[in-house]
């Protein structure tokens, strides 16, 4: 499956990243964030923002691989590649929810200590 995107709807940063990613089909062709940064001059945080925009706004399923021989960003060609990214994202979300729970508990304790209740 080929993913197409009208580059006229992209910001300059989005277009810059899309040019690098648009031919990276399959995990074996993944490109690391460091390689993308070197090619584009866009830092890691900016890259993550653009990938999120490509996914959410433009509906491009940019996937990632953090394990195996080839790590980095790529466009999926198999359902298993999407599954692996979804598993990683769900694990990250679960950890964020755990952190949020700890912060809520700390806030409750702080409020309790301030009000004396």
pLDDT tens per residue across span 36-94: 999 999 999 999 999 999 999 999 999 998 766 778 999 999 999 999 999 989 999 99
Say what the pLDDT of residue 70 is: 76
pTM: predicted TM-score of the whole model, two decimal places:
0.81
pLDDT at 45: 96
Residue 26 pLDDT exceeds 80: yes
Give 35-85 as a DSSP string.
HHHHHH---HHHHHHHHHHHHHTS----EEE-SSS--EEEB-SSHHHHHHH
Any idea what DSSP says for residue 22?
T
Q: Can you give the residue ranges of every domain in the chain?
A: 7-115
Lowest model confidence (mean pLDDT) among 16-25, 73-82, 104-113? 104-113
- CATH class of the domain whose range is 7-115: mainly alpha
């Amino acid at each position: 499956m080929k993913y197409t995107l009208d580059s006229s709807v992209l910001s300059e940063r989005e277009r810059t990243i899309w040019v690098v990613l648009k031919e990276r089909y399959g995990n074996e062709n993944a490109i690391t964030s460091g390689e993308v940064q070197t090619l584009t001059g866009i830092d890691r945080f900016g890259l993550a923002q653009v990938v999120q925009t490509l996914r959410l706004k433009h509906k491009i399923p940019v996937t990632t691989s953090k394990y195996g021989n080839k790590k980095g960003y790529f466009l999926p060609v198999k359902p298993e590649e999407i599954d692996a990214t979804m598993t990683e994202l769900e694990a990250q979300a679960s950890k964020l929810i755990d952190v949020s729970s700890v912060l809520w508990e700390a806030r409750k304790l702080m409020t309790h200590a301030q009000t004396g209740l």
